[in-house]
Amino acid sequence: MKKHLSFLFGLLLLCTAGCTDSRTPDTRWNKKAFRNMTGLVPDSGIKGIRAYADEFSGIDPLYCMAFTATPEAVARIVDKRKMKKTVPSEWREDFRVPSSIKWWNAEERRISDYYVAEVKRNGVTEIMYYLWHDPKTGKCQFMMVCF
In contact, 85 and 114? CB cutoff 8 Å = yes
Q: What is the pLDDT of residue 3?
A: 46
**Phi, psi (5° rounding) for residue 103?**
-75, -15
Per-residue pLDDT, averaged over 98-108, amounts to: 87
Q: Tell me the per-residue pLDDT of 114-125, one tens digit each, with 9 for 90 and over.
A: 999 999 999 999
- Whether 9 has a pLDDT exceeding 50, the answer reads no
- Work out the percent of the chain whose per-residue pLDDT is above 90: 59
Q: What is the pLDDT of residue 100?
A: 82
CA 126 from centroid of its chain's CA atoms = 15
Highest mean pLDDT (candidates 10-14, 41-45, 60-64, 102-106): 41-45
Q: What is the pLDDT of residue 122?
A: 94
Q: Tell me the per-residue pLDDT of 39-97, one tens digit each, with 9 for 90 and over.
A: 999 999 999 999 998 876 666 788 999 999 999 999 999 999 999 999 876 555 555 67
Domains of the chain (ranges; CATH) run: 21-146 (3.40.1000)
- Rounded Cα distance between 59 and 137, Å, is 34
Residue 16 — very low, low, confident or very high, per pLDDT cuts 50/70/90?
A: very low
Q: Which of 139, 142, 137, 134 is nearest to 68 (CA)?
A: 139
